[in-house]
Amino acid sequence: MTSPLVSAAWLKSNISAPDLRIIDASWFPSWIASANAGRAAYERGHIPGAVYFDIDDICAEESDLPHMMPDSVKFSSRVRKLGVGDGNRIVVYDSNDFIASARVWWMFRVMGHEDVVVLDGGLRAWEAEGGDLEDLPPIVTGGRHFTPRVQAHLIKSREQVREASSGATLPILDARPAGRFNGTEEEPRAGLPSGHIPGSVNIPSAKLVAPDGRMADEIQLKKLFDDYRAGPVVATCGSGVSAAVLALGLAQLGNWEAALYDGSWTEWASDKDNPVETSTA
């Protein structure tokens, strides 16, 4: 693989390819938008043929943590209902600066589907390219069988992150804004302290996004990731969504070995036995 991204111009030229599937993953955090704001955005207007992937629905039912990765059975069943299966090329986009399209890209990779990319710049780039929108969902015929081949190394548990933190065995990159990471600003989720996992490094996901909504250029990405451009790392954030933007940025630099701590800060800070560091640096 050379890049995890495709341009709006490429998508416009290839949108009619019979093996192509387009997924709208628009999602907005509950503290900045009302419930179902992502679906509402999809229904107002989406790329022709796009189906809607709801990360709050295609998630682990048994967990009280938000949008945790579902098991392979549920994932396979749900994406088949979206008309996605083996042999499909998948393009994921959203209307909020990679915040959930990167997450869905990562989810497909965890399930072993490698032919998945993210639309650089999302819906904004599509419209800037003169792409049409539609406001009706496509007619989805029976999808091909989706065969999961779980890539366990791309997802990390609390125990694995605890070990990485205490033994400094794996770099931990935190995608939250600096104030929350440093402990100088409150967490948006009630009852959670701010701060960070000991030994983790702050790389706010917003710094990976250029003003036009596209991924930052290679110079900026190299500056941000510095020593993390090769080898395994684990990305974390508030609840495992914006962390995937870091994984996407690293893949753009050629490092496809970034895993996600799925429970992220919501899980870590909810357990009073886990150490929390703060910093004004």
Domain annotation covers residue 281: no
Domain boundary among 150, 168, 193: 150
Mean pLDDT per 10-residue segment, the chain (281 residues): 94 96 96 91 97 97 94 96 96 95 98 98 98 93 85 97 92 98 95 96 98 97 94 97 98 97 98 91 50
Q: How many domains does the chain have?
A: 2
Check which CATH number belongs to the domain holding 173 and give it: 3.40.250.10
**Residue 122 sits in the same domain as residue 74:** yes
Residues of the domain holding 255: 153-270
74 and 132 share one domain: yes
Same domain, 55 and 133: yes
| Domain's final residue, options 150, 176, 207 | 150
Residues 23 and 138 in one domain: yes
Active site residue 237: yes
Query: Residue 142: its pLDDT value, please?
Result: 60
> Does 221 reside within a domain?
yes
- Give the separation between CA 176 and CA 186, rounded to whole angstroms: 12
Q: Does 47 share its domain with 119? A: yes
pLDDT of residue 272: 92
Of the residues 93, 125, 150, the one at which a domain ends: 150
Kindly state whether residues 106 and 183 are assigned to the same domain.
no
Smallest CA-to-CA distance from 241 within 65, 75, 46 is with 65
Whether 277 is covered by a domain: the verdict is: no
Within this chain, do residues 158 and 177 fall inside the same structural domain, yes or no? yes
- Distances in whole angstroms, Cα of residue 218 to Cα of each of 27, 85, 139, 249: 26, 32, 39, 9
Residue 146 shares a structural domain with residue 157: no
User: Across the chain, which distance is largest between two alpha carbons, in Å?
Assistant: 54
Query: What are the b/e assignments for 82-115, b being 16+ CB within 10 Å?
Result: bbbbeebebbbbbbbbbbbbbbbbbbbbbbebee
**Residue 254: inside a domain:** yes
Set 92, 99, 197, 237: catalytic member? 237
Asked whether residue 197 falls in the same domain as residue 253, the answer is yes
Quick one: 110 and 159 in the same domain? Answer: no
